[in-house]
Amino acid sequence: MLAVETFDLTKDYFVGFFRQRPKHALDRLNLRVEAGEIFGLLGPNGAGKTTTLKLLLRLVFPTAGTARVLGRSLDDVAMHARVGYLPESPYFYDHLTAEEFLNYAGELFGLPYSERRRRVDRLLERLGVAEARHLPLCKFSKGMLQRVGIAQALINDPQLVFLDEPMSGLDPLGRRDVRDLILELKGKGKTVFFSTHILSDAEMLCDRVAILDRGRLQGCGELREILALGVALTEMVLENPGAELLKELSAHARSVVRTGERVRLEVPQESDVPKLLALAIRQGAKIVSLNPVKMSLEDYFLARTEATVDAAAGQEAVSPPGAKPRQK
């Protein structure tokens, strides 16, 4: 069974005071998230990640399209009994202690008292906030609130967990804890659907990701596959290469930067690397390092944004009659 399935899910927000105009927050999103996988929703700020989660949880309503969560329609409130949700920058009730809040969350799921107590104790312990259980939430740091937020998302032992930027506000230790927790959930057969703009988190955790940008799906699949679509390069650092060798290498390099005795070359074609490496060894140059540089999510978005801007500018340049093509 699919954990989440969206069909042309679209959300427009209306902005402006006197003349309201639609702003596309999400544009015809089609996703299929398999049960038991860790699925990452990636994208820069304003990409539509939080909107997607809010749509799936009925906090906002779709302008068009529909979705199914755990095989049920979004209007079916009963579906929420099997779902957990951590909102972005969670804020809870100042006057409640962590224990009271989790107990309240458990009550809303209709858990009996003894079961609530057991789960609250276990989750507070698991998320490292057991010692602060009697403190009011207004005294909690952002990181501690995030941990309580994760705990309330898991109080019902959900089949599917939605986490909106779960690492936000956490220190490195906290991030590791949450990563371990997400993997633990997967180990128990749960589906984790989380949004992030931090590539390393997604790389470490996700079975599959969807990349959103300005409300549009840019790609969906394994992160490695998606990012491999972009151009990777190899960084080669040599010490004391001769002038002749440098001239030959430069012909295959995108950039050559000399710093003291060292020269850093960026080789765009992966197939050129063995040939250039052999040449350098033959001519007696010392090879300091050789690094294949993968495209980062930032590079990916930058490349896509530039492509979009270029396309738009190209269109503008073409549209007026008799206009000359844009010079690069």
Which stretches of the chain bind other proteins, using CB under 8 A? 13, 54, 57-61, 77-81, 83, 85, 87, 89-93, 95-96, 100, 104-105, 107-110, 149, 152, 156, 162
Q: In the complex with other proteins, which residue's Cβ is closer, 133 or 294?
A: 133
3-state secondary structure 204-258: HHCCEEEEEECCEEEEEECHHHHHHCCCCEEEEEEECCCHHHHHHHHCCCCEEEE
CB of 148 to other proteins, least distance (A): 10
Identify the CA nearest to 42 among candidates 231, 228, 216.
216
Q: In the complex with other proteins, which residue's Cβ is closer, 78 or 251?
A: 78
DSSP string, 145-170: HHHHHHHHHHTT--SEEEEESTTTT-
Identify the CA nearest to 233 among candidates 254, 215, 213.
254
216 vs 43: CA distance, rounded Å: 10
CB of 147 to other proteins, least distance (A): 14
CB of 221 to other proteins, least distance (A): 28
Q: In the complex with other proteins, which residue's Cβ is closer, 61 or 224?
A: 61
* Sign of the CA dihedral running 194, 196, 201, 204: positive
CB of 235 to other proteins, least distance (A): 44
Q: In the complex with other proteins, which residue's Cβ is closer, 157 or 299?
A: 157
CB of 94 to other proteins, least distance (A): 9
Matching residue, tokens 């202690």: 97
Q: In the complex with other proteins, which residue's Cβ is closer, 96 or 303?
A: 96
209 vs 297: CA distance, rounded Å: 12
